[in-house]
Amino acid sequence: MYLHPSYLPSIASFIVLAQQEVIWDLSGTYQKQTYRNRTYIATDQGKLLLSIPLIHKGKGGHQSYKDIQIDYSVPWMRTHYRGIETAYRTSPFFEYYEAYFKPLFEKQEQFLIDFNLKSATLLGQCLQLEMPKATTDSYQKKMDPAVDARFLINSKKPIPYAATAYHQVFKEKHGFIANLSCLDLICNLGPSASSYLKTEVLPI
């Protein structure tokens, strides 16, 4: 199964990672408004977007995903971590897993793709899931749908996925919010998160 690396990958992406043998697809042109540089968490105000600022190379220029660089001219790492801490500090397992994912926001990576692979690895450690080592650099526009999960990178196209509800900190206030960053699942379910991922069914 092929996946694009994303920022603190979604639960849907981790369902694939938990159930399938995955190859990271590092190829292709960077596309805006995707999970490549964004993720969602659940806060007391509801669903919150965390977006990594990027260095843009002129107007209308097409860049390879591998060449996209992160903009550190604004303190977004501190802002994102504070947002995560505020959202999940009262969750059952935040304190236990904080040491795993906090380092993500302490060291700068030049390229977005490297940062995304690191974020997946850190969440994978929380879940005790070994992350894929295989990668591909050559872009294939058409691929057998049975092995193509790259569409999960698209943040504007809802996945027809009936997620099993689980405990969320602000569930009573906002209802269950599906397919957030897998960070949400980890902070709320802890060691049970891996079992959840292995039993969910995606329409792919």
Q: What is the pLDDT of residues 64-94, one digit of tens each?
A: 899 999 999 999 999 999 999 999 999 999 9
By the 8 A CB rule, do 120 and 135 touch?
A: no
pTM of the model: 0.93
pLDDT score, position 78: 97
For the cut 60, the answer to whether the pLDDT of residue 100 exceeds it is yes
In the chain, % of residues over pLDDT 90: 79
Exposure class string for 159-189: b at 16+ Cβ within 10 A, else e: bebebeebebbbeeeeeebbbbbbbbbbbbb
Place of tokens 């079992």: 195
For the cut 90, the answer to whether the pLDDT of residue 31 exceeds it is no
Which residue did the predictor score with more confidence, 1 or 33?
A: 1
**Mean pLDDT across 114-133:** 95
| Tokens of residue 123, six digits | 């969440």
Average pLDDT, the chain: 92
Select from 182, 194, 202, 164 the least CA-distant residue to 39: 182
**Mean pLDDT across 97-107:** 93
